[in-house]
Each structure stands twice: as structure tokens, then as C-alpha cells.
């Protein structure tokens, strides 16, 4: 069955893949009732070898380039850090950030399968 939750998650993933990452971040921020994170293409010096990172102080998601910008796993992972940063003092643990991203990707796949079967 398709729930509103699954459809929401699938929509977010679809937006990122469709190169509308800003809109995806809008939806995510509304959904979780947090301020929208800033988004920047370009990494801080210390993290120049990474694909993406989240800078808590500036509430900024840094991505290394377009590839990362339109990669739902990367964006959702970093959004999870933002969410944890906004909602409580604890920093998101990597494992949970990955689970968060996975959950969205699974919703996307599930929704796709459902649509193609019916
Ligand atoms: Zn991380």
C-alpha cells in the first residue's frame, strides 16, 4: 500500500534526481518544521576531499559538485545532520544519517514498483 509518508519520501527523492534540490530541501524543512539549510556547491578547505559535508554553525550543506548536488543519498544524509543539529544538541551519527537516506530511497523504489505493477 502507498501511504502519504511513502509518497512524500518518493517525491523528495524524485525532486533531487530531477535536479531540484532546493525544492526538495524546502519540502523536507517544512515536513520536519526546521529552518531550511543553506546549500552551497564548494567544500570548505578542511573537507575538500569529501563528496559533501554539513557545517553546523552556518547550517550549511556543502557539496563538492553537481554530481553530489543531485544525488539523493548524499543530500538526504547531509539533511539528516541538519535535522539533528536543529532539533537537539546531539550530532547525527553517520549510521543514522545513512539509515535516514536509505529510508527515502526505499520509499522511492517501492513507489516506483507499485506504479509499474498497477
Ligand atoms: Zn555524515
What are all long-range contacts of 39-42, with beta carbons under 8 Å and residues at least 24 apart?
39/63, 39/69, 41/65, 41/66, 41/69
Domain spans in the chain, listed from the N-terminal domain onward: 4-117
Report the alpha-carbon angle 116-25-77, nearest 5: 80
The predicted model scores a pTM of 0.86
pLDDT digits (tens, 9 = 90+) for 52-87: 999 999 999 999 999 999 999 999 999 999 998 887
Average pLDDT over residues 48-55: 92
**Distance (Å) from CA 82 to ligand 1 centroid:** 10
- Residue 118 pLDDT greater than 50, yes or no: no
pLDDT digits (tens, 9 = 90+) for 2-47: 799 999 999 999 999 999 999 999 999 999 999 999 999 999 988 8
Give the model's pLDDT for residue 90: 59
- Taking residue 61's Cβ as centre, other Cβ atoms within 10 Å add up to 25
| Secondary structure string (H, E, C) spanning 2-57 | CCHHHHHHHHHHHHHHCCCHHHHHHHHHHHHCCCCCEEEECCCHHHCCCCEEEECC
Using DSSP's 3-state secondary structure scheme, residue 63 falls into: strand
- Residue 111 pLDDT greater than 90, yes or no: no
Give the model's pLDDT for residue 2: 77
**Distance (Å) from CA 22 to ligand 1 centroid:** 19
**Distance (Å) from CA 110 to ligand 1 centroid:** 25
**Distance (Å) from CA 60 to ligand 1 centroid:** 13
Average pLDDT over residues 94-101: 91
Amino acid at each position: 500500500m502507498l501511504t502519504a509518508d511513502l509518497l512524500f519520501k518518493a517525491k523528495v527523492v524524485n525532486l533531487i534526481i530531477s535536479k531540484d534540490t532546493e525544492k526538495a530541501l524546502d519540502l523536507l524543512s517544512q515536513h520536519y518544521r526546521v529552518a531550511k539549510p543553506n546549500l552551497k556547491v564548494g567544500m570548505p578547505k578542511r573537507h575538500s576531499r569529501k563528496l559533501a559535508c554539513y557545517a553546523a554553525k552556518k547550517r550549511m550543506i556543502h557539496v563538492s559538485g553537481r554530481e553530489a548536488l543531485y544525488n539523493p543519498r548524499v543530500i538526504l544524509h547531509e539533511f539528516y545532520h541538519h535535522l539533528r543539529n536543529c532539533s537537539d544538541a546531539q550530532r547525527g551519527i553517520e549510521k543514522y544519517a545513512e539509515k535516514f537516506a536509505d529510508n527515502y530511497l526505499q520509499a522511492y523504489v517501492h513507489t516506483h514498483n507499485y506504479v509499474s505493477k498497477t
